[in-house]
Amino acid sequence: MMAVACGQTLRIVEVPDGCSGEMAGLRKSDRGGRTVTIISLAVTDKDKRGEPQPPPTHRDDYPNIAAWLNGVDPRHWWVQHLDTERDPAAVPPTLADMVLGPLEILIQAVRGASPRRMDQFIGSRFRDLDPANLLSARLELLCAANLALRHIPFEFGGTAEPDLTWNPGTGAQGWLEIHRGAFSPFDDLQQSLDRELAAKGAMLTVRLDKWPLEVRDRNQLHSRISNAIDAAVAADSNQIVAMSELANGATGLIEPRQEIPGIGRIVVQHVDIMPSEDYLNSVAARLARKVNVDKAGQGRKGNWDAAQTVLLVDISTAHLAMLLGQDGLAAWLDKVQIEWQDLPFAAWPCPSATSTAHSCGAVAGTSQT
């Protein structure tokens, strides 16, 4: 008896008497007075080695990210990097490696801790298609990974709760509320446009002589840019759009592009080397309002423990402020007017969500005394 593996085909023919069995590749055996010749024993439909294989992607290199994003819309920024083909001629790390590598380590640390409500975080935050929300989720994941790496018990927050809780159910319990938002009208406009550019597959380069502190007739400007995006994508060609609402002579270049060099689809070219005092004052006023009014109201409504809750404010959207450097940024943040009396937070460190380091330490911040 001869065994044939699944997917293999055993071909047999009957050779009439008198025919030579010395034909190349034939093997004869006498069975019941007949000559049976085995021509081939070959794997057929299950053996794809002879067919061209699809080029490798980054999915096998980052299994934790791939597991969390299984079945997610291919427009998702991290899914796009996972599905990027690996060029055998490219010397790693590729752009996808630089984006996904640190993220894989963070996820591995958090998965190992198996925190409560992790599935909710994955479903509602990690799989979000909005690039701005993804940056917030990455910052939240960064803080969670730090707790995991330090073997501090933690869990993700629920409804009307801060984003993270450490040492839950103990006398050392504490809470972390994370916020990322725009702190200038132009930053806010960029976030809205970025979502539209991602959905339509385009990039926008804005050319400015000076960073705008206000955006005149924002709706009119947004509508004009949207029409130019549609025209660029439909014609598959670049489009120039006027942006006089930002400044005299300001223009934008719209390019139809599915692939993206970074998490944002907007590049701003301007001549400012350092932020002006007016810019810093404008950002400081918005930041103070966010802490003193918006987040404080949320904390009081949620009845958060003021002595044990930290508000983490990501200020990376204040792009020009990042030019101050760490020391300059710390000095500037210390001047932001925070009304600590009755504020439901013990501290408010201000990191940047663009950091890929394994640290949740603040770039700068201040605390209640």
Q: Is residue 290 part of a domain?
A: no
What is the per-residue pLDDT for 363?
A: 31
Q: How many domains does the chain have?
A: 3
Whether residues 190 and 175 share a domain: the answer is no
**pLDDT top residue among 160 and 21:** 160
For residue 355, what pLDDT band results from cuts at 50, 70 and 90? very low
What is the per-residue pLDDT for 173?
A: 93
Q: Name the residue among 206, 207, 199 with its Cα closest to residue 258.
A: 199
- 3-class SS of residue 184: coil
- Among 296-310, 315-329, 355-369, the least confident range: 355-369
What is the per-residue pLDDT for 9?
A: 44
Whether residues 73 and 173 share a domain: the answer is yes
What is the per-residue pLDDT for 3?
A: 44
Are the CB atoms for 350 and 313 separated by under 8 Å? Answer: yes
For residue 319, what pLDDT band results from cuts at 50, 70 and 90? confident
**pLDDT top residue among 278 and 108:** 108
Q: How far apart are CA 311 and CA 175, in angstroms?
A: 9
Q: Return the structure tokens found at 6.
A: 């699944």
With a cut of 60, say whether residue 48 has pLDDT above it.
no
Q: Is residue 96 part of a domain?
A: yes
Q: Is residue 369 part of a domain?
A: no
What is the per-residue pLDDT for 83?
A: 93
Whether residues 149 and 93 share a domain: the answer is yes
What is the per-residue pLDDT for 362?
A: 33
Whether residues 82 and 28 share a domain: the answer is no
Residue pLDDT, tens place only, 254-268 = 999 876 655 678 888
Q: Name the residue among 314, 316, 360, 304 with its Cα closest to residue 141.
A: 360
**pTM of whole model > 0.85?**
no
Alpha helices (H) along 201-301:
218-235, 277-289, 296-301
Average pLDDT for 153-166: 92
Whether residues 265 and 219 share a domain: the answer is yes
Residue pLDDT, tens place only, 97-119 = 999 999 999 999 999 999 999 99
For residue 15, what pLDDT band results from cuts at 50, 70 and 90? very low
Sequence-ordered list of residues with C-beta below 8 angstroms from that of 175, at least 6 positions apart, any chain? 157, 161, 162, 164, 165, 166, 304, 305, 308, 309, 310
Q: Which of 241, 269, 297 is the last residue of a domain?
A: 269
Whether residues 151 and 210 share a domain: the answer is no
Whether residues 166 and 189 share a domain: the answer is no
DSSP 7: T
With a cut of 60, say whether residue 79 has pLDDT above it.
yes
Whether residues 22 and 70 share a domain: the answer is no
Q: Is residue 50 part of a domain?
A: no
- Mean residue pLDDT of the chain comes to 80
With a cut of 50, say whether residue 22 has pLDDT above it.
no
Residue 134 backbone phi and psi in degrees, to 5:
-65, -40
For residue 353, what pLDDT band results from cuts at 50, 70 and 90? very low
- Among 12-26, 91-105, 303-317, the least confident range: 12-26
Q: Is residue 306 part of a domain?
A: no
- 3-class SS of residue 291: helix
With a cut of 80, say whether residue 91 has pLDDT above it.
yes
3-state secondary structure string, 104-124? Answer: HHHHHHHHHHCCECHHHHHHH
Domain that holds residue 39: 8-43
DSSP H or E segment with residue 103: helix 95-113
Q: Which of 214, 247, 269 is the last residue of a domain?
A: 269
For residue 347, what pLDDT band results from cuts at 50, 70 and 90? confident
Cis peptide before 93 (omega within 30 of 0): yes
What is the per-residue pLDDT for 351?
A: 55
Q: Which of 212, 234, 269 is the last residue of a domain?
A: 269
Q: Name the residue among 56, 80, 57, 128 with its Cα closest to residue 259.
A: 80
**pLDDT top residue among 153 and 355:** 153
Q: Is residue 236 part of a domain?
A: yes
Average pLDDT for 143-156: 96
Whether residues 162 and 80 share a domain: the answer is yes
CA quadruple 354, 357, 358, 361: dihedral sign:
negative
Q: Is residue 144 part of a domain?
A: yes
What is the per-residue pLDDT for 228?
A: 95
Whether residues 155 and 202 share a domain: the answer is no
Whether residues 15 and 98 share a domain: the answer is no
For residue 181, what pLDDT band results from cuts at 50, 70 and 90? confident
